[in-house]
Amino acid sequence: GENVEQHPSTLSVQEGDSAVIKCTYSDSASNYFPWYKQELGKGPQLIIDIRSNVGEKKDQRIAVTLNKTAKHFSLHITETQPEDSAVYFCAATPDTGRRALTFGSGTRLQVQP
Partner 1 sequence: GAVVSQHPSWVICKSGTSVKIECRSLDFQATTMFWYRQFPKQSLMLMATSNEGSKATYEQGVEKDKFLINHASLTLSTLTVTSAHPEDSSFYICSSKGQFESYEQYFGPGTRLTVT
Size of the site for partner 1 (CB under 8 A): 22
**Residues in a beta bridge with 112:** 14
Helix, strand, or coil here: 7?
strand
Q: Which of 11, 1, 17, 23 lies closest to 105, judged by CA?
A: 23
Q: Pick the closer one to partner 1 by CB: 67 or 105.
A: 105
| x-marked contacts with partner 1 along 11-50 as a string, rule CB under 8 A | ---------------------x-x-x----xxxxxx--x-
As a whole number of angstroms, the distance between CA 66 and CA 106 comes to 18
Q: Which stretch binds partner 1 (CB under 8 A): 13-21, 61-69, 70-78, 94-102?
A: 94-102
As a whole number of angstroms, the distance between CA 104 and CA 15 comes to 25
Chain positions contacting partner 1, by CB under 8 A = 32, 34, 36, 41-46, 49, 51, 89, 93, 98-106
